[in-house]
Structure 1
Amino acid sequence: MHKPFNILQAAILKALTEALFHEIDMKITPDQVVDNIQRQFAQFHGNMPREIGASLVLLCLLMGGPAFLIAGPAWRARRVRNRLERTSNNLLQDIGKIRGVVYAGYYGHWEGDSQKQRPNPVLAQIDFALPADRVRGPADMPIAPFHGRDLTDRDILGPGDVPESAGVIVIGSGAGGGVAAATLAAQGHDVLILEAGGHYPSERITHKEADMTARLFVDGGLQNTRDHDIIVFQGRCVGGSTVINNGICLRVKQPGHTHPMADDVLAKWAALGAPVDEARFMGAYEAVEKRLGVAPIAPRSGRNNGTHLMTGWTAHAAATGDPQDAAAPVTWFSKNYGPRSEGGAGNAECAYCGYCNTGCPYGRKQGMAQSFLIDARRKHGARIMADAEVVRIRWKDATKDDCRVADGVELKLADGSTHFIRATQGVVVAAGALASSRLLDRSGVLGTGLDMSLNISCPVVALMPGQVRAWDEDQMATYVDRGDYLLESHFQPPMSMSTLMPGWFGDHFERMRNYGRLASAGVLIPADRQGSLINGGLHFKLRKDVELPLLRRALATLSRVHFAAGAEEVYPALARGQTLKRGEDIDAFFSRHLREADDVTLASSHPQGGNARNADPGKGVVDLDCRVHGTTNVIVADASTFTSCIRVNAQLTTMAMAHYATAERNPFT
């Protein structure tokens, strides 16, 4: 096995492991933790292992250099504690990132290769049962595969089958690319889909979190903004982020599901110069929802953690008497699982194993690789290439009506070879908000990567008086739309939970030992048009007069909801791991401990904008039909076209936008 961390870096990892677990009953050795980390990072794409390695060396120097490696664990633990107490926030973030790597190496420990695996001492320590070991009653969905809906290797072109040309080249196979490809192929276009990541059908997905995050996520799930304030999760595989998300399907406006006092996103787009035909856009939603079988999830799949949020919110809203609280929809998520066929053999309903974010090994989620890509390939003859990264779009020498015409794309395969594929009709860019902006920038399109938005999430964990077993259900089951922010139930498997769990040393260990007593939810706040790409990296700052006060208010509300549901104490995702006690002044707590973005762990799975729709070429990269301004045959069909932040989960609206851009006309004429 290739080891991405050298002898010195591995020694630093071991020293930090011994410090973080000092006087803790470790069930595997520090050497095993380091081996686990080496194995995980050996599967990464890109430069993240190198970045982490450099951070390790810098951290060691700040902790005392050679003395940190030579001294005993007790001295190291004191050294880390002292540094945490007096360090700057920027350094605290670097320490926090390495902390997460170490905890992932411990709680991501795996014995054997099967789904059931051998007895795992780490998982036994927190009383966690893998899905194959769980006992389900007659009223439960069995945890079993639903076969036959995946793309197979026969559907994927091999590296030796690079075509010389295609009618339409679709770059990206996720929510936007999958829908655009299927829609265009159904119109009779010769479609070629190019995906930078690999092909992982359900049978190749396991519950080994370390492997799946390394293989399926951009930068192994460690992609972050330039100043490390925000982790940005994105998929890198056939099907894109639809493989590693929770299947949530929300419209930007829908009675009963959207707060009546929330901003009207489509009206805001129109005011910014980017109107949509609302009837046609709602028709796009309907078409996508019909194909995916979108429906509210069954309450049994969120019976513990999901109902915890609903119970707590109901009690909280009754106590506040706030009309905005009273008007908030409190309901179950609608998702692209199924279809549901109660009692029948065709029931593909979610088996709520709790591992959505590392892919569904049971074939029950209808991501792009189980729906629109299947349609494009098997019904309409589209071709699909995996491990095929598009470097840039190449333009023809001659213009048409003073507009540039795409000639094709330059492609790099996993073996390092490069190729040119001609597009005889056009190119669809749908690689996601960040990758699409970078690609268009490399291709000479001006103005990309500006006015980017994020839906920013932040978790809050609660210790309950008794067993909750939140891990034995759907990761995200229920939500509250409060109008200015959302509250969403969520719970993670052990490795992921350990990295987001706040706290250090024994505090973190005890919180993980109480894994079965934990409930968890997160806030989701909009950060509208505050980001831009600089040298390919996302620069994104939260405003001290807009997003930070909103974040404090949302976290305070969620903490009150946890207490209203019976929590004994609450663990907001603060970098220093402070505990919020029952009866404490919650507003004062967050005013004291959350003063800037790097005081708290923030993440986003919903980057938007960068190539915004606008009728004015000076205000947007694409026109109202999603065609790149100044070109004849380049369409953008993903969330990068969103003119402002949509506030809710972006999956369904991304699909609707791709359908809207390609369904009712030939976009290349």
Structure 2
Amino acid sequence: MIKAMTEALFHNRQMAISADQVVENLQEHFSNIDGDKPDEIGMALYGLLLVLGGPFFLAASPETRKKRISRRLQKSGIDLLQDMARTKGVILAGYYGHWQHGDEAENFDNPIYADLNFELPAQRDRSGPGERHVRRETHRDLTSEVFIGHQAIPEETDVIVIGSGAGGAVAAAAVADEGHETLIIEAGGHYPSARITHEEARMTARLFKDGALQTTSDRDIIVFQGRVVGGSTVINNGICLRMKHDGLVHPDAEDVYDSWARLGAPISEAELALSYDAVEQALEVSEIDRITGRNNGPHLIDGWNKYAAQSSDPMDHKAVTAWFRKNYGPKTDDSECVYCGYCNTGCPYGRKKAMPESFLAHSTSDERDRPARILHRAEATEILWEEGANGKKIASAVEITLRGGGKCTIRARKGVVVAAGALASSNLLQESGILQSGSNISLNIACPVVALMPEGMDMKVWNEDQMATYVDRGDFLIESHFQPPMSMATLVPGWFEDHYERMKNYNRLVSAGVLFPADRLGYMDNGKLKLKIGEKELALLRRALATMTKVHFLNGAVEVYPALLRGQTLTSDMTHEQIDAFYETAIIEPDDVVLSSSHPHGGNGINIDPEKGVVDLNQRVHNTTNCYVTDASVMPSCIRVNAQLTTMAMAHRAMAGKRRFG
């Protein structure tokens, strides 16, 4: 089936590798993904085969297969068939994710890269003024001594921290600072920079939950989350934005602190600001240098400035344009970003100061009397309770399932911190009897808009930071972004020869994504996120995509490719009114557009009322004495901006210096 689909999608185009090689690539890719997702994709392919005609489809010519795919998938308005159409991205990943076994040097002649005129980082000319040479620095990697083997798991410890990402690592560092014996439980494996390569398919399979194929239950939205020591901080872009920050957030945007207070979560802005300061200092956060995003970054800002200059909307004139602040510090030769463009599959150069290089290193340092230790490839499945005074529960132990199927129970002498991420923490607490957990989940939903620049204008934006600049328009954000070949191929819309030609123009592409809120629309049901965006969100999405399309054209683009399932093309001769009208008719329901999110938050929201929230103002689970939640799941509503820094600050606010465990 994969071979037949490949031959049809690339019909009459000169493939750089064979369809048989695509099959082999995908077989290897799925073998690297843990869990049930490969079986789920396999069933989807069987279903797709039936929809396309079964044995007739396999026996038909590539031309006939192409026509049937176009009629039944590309042009379908039926939800089930639109969901099946997304399987196209799997085939594209198998083609553009081709890797010749070996290291980077052994892929300098990779036929896919040669066909796209793409160069791996070690091939790139960095001889110009101000350029940074690409080299690995592994001295900040966590060492094996900080990990506990599956044969040496302790029967008990003082505090168990579940999750090693943004919230878990900060909480673990705070608990360890107070002298408590701390054990960090992480479902994913350990991938230090020394083990990270440029093989996109393998890194995606190993570092992401479900191999980056996790979706909402109706498959309308892809939800990217890390499943690795360090969590999503390992596979994100290191962006550090506050919910409210003069000059960096739109002055007329929703005041999230006020919204939280109205919901019953009056978090002190001044108190959280102190935690923001502490985290930023620990991560050595600073604005990125212009050279790291020299093409795609200015393209967005310059285009926006031209758009705002002709707009009559005050929100456009007040919009903030800025270069991102990130956790790449300090600014020294061995730690500055070398803008390789591979942030989302882990930093192979040890430059990003993510959780393994910062708070986990701090909590596990042998300089302390009782350093924290990490038990990885181990998933917490249930918190066990004892009855305490006044009917409140005491978290007494955590049940663990080890990679490979083994199980164990670890007692917690003093307490438990839950920080497995918004979705996993909600599932865990539900399984542990906290039945109100898993409601009011929010997403920042992203939708890419790719553009083609004029012929002869080779932008080569793959030779820079994936995300460099942003525009905060108040009701939505726009962020510049670009990806290496495999990931970019799944972002670039289009079918058959259209998609092929767009990728052949890889060096002329620029890209940005709109980011809009889906506020408290989701909930966990039987382990899956259910979230359906409505007309309010779709109207905002249409307007945001139309705005970004105009920004592209105003800065010289000749064609624009929004992430629509049918793969339509917009051209530079279209008026603004025609662009608006196009999106009004092109997006009727979520299935018409490709959506994703890397920022799930909520599910265990803070509220002073136990009937309305899961944790109290101190982030302790209501009606318990010693169980805290310190990840993004405690956020009562959507915060609009990238959630990494706020997650860390909330964890710091809840745990640092508070002596929660005596």
Return the TM-score normalized by structure 1. Answer: 0.96
**Which whole-Å CA distance do the structure 1 matches of 2:270 and 2:465 have between them?**
33
Task: Please give the secondary structure, in 1, of the residue aligned with 2:279.
Answer: helix
Aligned to 2:23: 34
Aligned to 1:349: 336
Task: Please give the secondary structure, in 2, of the residue aligned with 1:203.
Answer: helix
Please, which of 291, 296, 302 is the counterpart of residue 300 of structure 1?
291
User: Quick check: 83-92 or 510-519, which moved more?
Assistant: 83-92
Please, which of 541, 551, 561 is the counterpart of residue 561 of structure 1?
551
Q: How much does 1:152 deviate?
A: 1.5
Matches of residues 631-646 of structure 1 in structure 2 within 5 Å?
631-646=624-639
Aligned to 2:113: 123
Please, which of 102, 112, 133 is the counterpart of residue 113 of structure 1?
102
Matches of residues 47-446 of structure 1 in structure 2 within 5 Å?
47-84=36-73, 86-118=75-107, 119-136=109-126, 137-341=128-332, 346-378=333-365, 379-380=367-368, 381-396=371-386, 398-446=387-435
**Which whole-Å CA distance do the structure 2 matches of 1:86 and 1:558 have between them?**
25
Aligned length: 652
Q: How much does 1:321 deviate?
A: 3.6
Q: How much does 1:139 deviate?
A: 1.2
**Which whole-Å CA distance do the structure 2 matches of 1:482 and 1:192 have between them?**
42
Q: How much does 1:112 deviate?
A: 2.7
Q: How much does 1:96 deviate?
A: 2.9
**Which whole-Å CA distance do the structure 2 matches of 1:86 and 1:125 have between them?**
29
1:482-503 deviation per Cα after TM superposition (whole angstroms, max 9, x unaligned): 0000000000110001011100
Aligned to 2:4: 15
Task: Please give the secondary structure, in 2, of the residue aligned with 1:215.
Answer: helix
Aligned to 2:565: 575
Q: How much does 1:355 deviate?
A: 0.4
1:385-433 deviation per Cα after TM superposition (whole angstroms, max 9, x unaligned): 110111110112x322210011110011112110010000000000000
**Which whole-Å CA distance do the structure 2 matches of 1:87 and 1:571 have between them?**
19
Q: How much does 1:97 deviate?
A: 2.5
**Which whole-Å CA distance do the structure 2 matches of 1:419 and 1:404 have between them?**
21
1:141-164 deviation per Cα after TM superposition (whole angstroms, max 9, x unaligned): 111112311101222111111011
> 2:397 touches 2:409 (CA, 8 Å); kept in 1?
yes
Task: Please give the secondary structure, in 2, of the residue aligned with 1:160.
Answer: coil
Code of the residue aligned with 1:509 in structure 2: it is Y
The verdict on how the C-alpha distance between 1:191 and 1:85 changes in structure 2, with shifts beyond 3 A counting, is closer
**Which whole-Å CA distance do the structure 2 matches of 1:117 and 1:401 have between them?**
65
Code of the residue aligned with 1:486 in structure 2: it is L
Task: Please give the secondary structure, in 2, of the residue aligned with 1:617.
Answer: coil
Task: Please give the secondary structure, in 1, of the residue aligned with 2:84.
Answer: helix
**Which whole-Å CA distance do the structure 1 matches of 2:77 and 2:156 have between them?**
54
Q: How much does 1:116 deviate?
A: 2.2
**Which whole-Å CA distance do the structure 2 matches of 1:352 and 1:27 have between them?**
27
Task: Please give the secondary structure, in 2, of the residue aligned with 1:479.
Answer: strand
**Which whole-Å CA distance do the structure 2 matches of 1:510 and 1:107 have between them?**
13
Matches of residues 589-668 of structure 1 in structure 2 within 5 Å?
589-668=582-661
Task: Please give the secondary structure, in 2, of the residue aligned with 1:624.
Answer: coil
Q: CA RMSD in A?
A: 1.0
Task: Please give the secondary structure, in 2, of the residue aligned with 1:629.
Answer: coil
1:428-478 deviation per Cα after TM superposition (whole angstroms, max 9, x unaligned): 000000000000000011211101100000000000011111111000000
> 1:93 touches 1:228 (CA, 8 Å); kept in 2?
no
Code of the residue aligned with 1:213 in structure 2: it is T
**Which whole-Å CA distance do the structure 2 matches of 1:339 and 1:399 have between them?**
47
**Which whole-Å CA distance do the structure 2 matches of 1:126 and 1:549 have between them?**
36
Q: How much does 1:19 deviate?
A: 0.7
Code of the residue aligned with 1:58 in structure 2: it is G
Task: Please give the secondary structure, in 2, of the residue aligned with 1:117.
Answer: helix
Structure 1 residues without counterparts, runs of 5 or longer: 1-11
**Which whole-Å CA distance do the structure 2 matches of 1:162 and 1:415 have between them?**
15
**Which whole-Å CA distance do the structure 2 matches of 1:593 and 1:358 have between them?**
32
Task: Please give the secondary structure, in 1, of the residue aligned with 2:391.
Answer: coil
Code of the residue aligned with 1:226 in structure 2: it is S
Q: How much does 1:86 deviate?
A: 4.9
1:528-574 deviation per Cα after TM superposition (whole angstroms, max 9, x unaligned): 00001111111101111x11100001001000100111000100000
**Which whole-Å CA distance do the structure 1 matches of 2:227 and 2:85 have between them?**
25
Please, which of 562, 577, 586 is the counterpart of residue 579 of structure 2?
586
**Which whole-Å CA distance do the structure 1 matches of 2:602 and 2:262 have between them?**
16
**Which whole-Å CA distance do the structure 2 matches of 1:538 and 1:365 have between them?**
30
**Which whole-Å CA distance do the structure 2 matches of 1:93 and 1:538 have between them?**
19
**Which whole-Å CA distance do the structure 1 matches of 2:79 and 2:262 have between them?**
38
> 2:293 touches 2:465 (CA, 8 Å); kept in 1?
yes
> 1:389 touches 1:413 (CA, 8 Å); kept in 2?
yes
Aligned to 1:9: none
1:335-367 deviation per Cα after TM superposition (whole angstroms, max 9, x unaligned): 0002113xxxx4411100000000000000001
Percent of aligned positions with the same letter in both sequences?
A: 58
Please, which of 440, 445, 455 is the counterpart of residue 456 of structure 1?
445
Q: How much does 1:85 deviate?
A: 5.5
Q: How much does 1:84 deviate?
A: 3.0
Q: How much does 1:608 deviate?
A: 0.6
> 2:216 touches 2:222 (CA, 8 Å); kept in 1?
yes
Q: How much does 1:88 deviate?
A: 3.0
> 1:92 touches 1:575 (CA, 8 Å); kept in 2?
no
Please, which of 516, 519, 526 is the counterpart of residue 535 of structure 1?
526
1:49-100 deviation per Cα after TM superposition (whole angstroms, max 9, x unaligned): 1111111111111111110111121111111112135523423433332100
> 1:459 touches 1:523 (CA, 8 Å); kept in 2?
yes
Q: How much does 1:277 deviate?
A: 2.1
Q: How much does 1:325 deviate?
A: 1.1
Q: How much does 1:188 deviate?
A: 1.2
**Which whole-Å CA distance do the structure 2 matches of 1:253 and 1:610 have between them?**
22
Return the TM-score normalized by structure 2. Answer: 0.97
**Which whole-Å CA distance do the structure 2 matches of 1:46 and 1:499 have between them?**
22
Code of the residue aligned with 1:487 in structure 2: it is I
The verdict on how the C-alpha distance between 1:85 and 1:40 changes in structure 2, with shifts beyond 3 A counting, is closer
**Which whole-Å CA distance do the structure 2 matches of 1:147 and 1:358 have between them?**
16
Code of the residue aligned with 1:578 in structure 2: it is Q
